[in-house]
Structure 1
Amino acid sequence: MTEEKDFWIDKDEVSALSNAEGTVYKVTQKAMNQKGWYKLADDEQIVKIVELTQEDADFVEDNMGLPFYDLKEPLSYINSLHDYVNGKNVKRPRQLLAKLAKAYFNGYTIKKEKKYYIKLNFDFSRYLNIQENGVWWFTNGMPTILGRSQFTQTEIDEMQKDPRAKGLDLNALKVEVHEDELED
Structure 2
Amino acid sequence: MSTELLKILKTRFEKHKNRHQGIEWAQVEAKLTASPKKLKVLAIMEETGGEPDVIAFDKKTGEYTFVDCSAESPKGRRSVCYDQQALDERKEAKPADSATEMAAAIGIELLDEEAYRALQALGAFDLKTSSWLLTPPAVRKLGGAIFGDRRYDRVFVYHNGAQSYYAARGFRGLLKV
Max radius of gyration: which structure? 1
Greater relative contact order structure (CA < 8 Å, 6+ sep):
2
After TM superposition, the score normalised by the length of structure 2 is 0.23
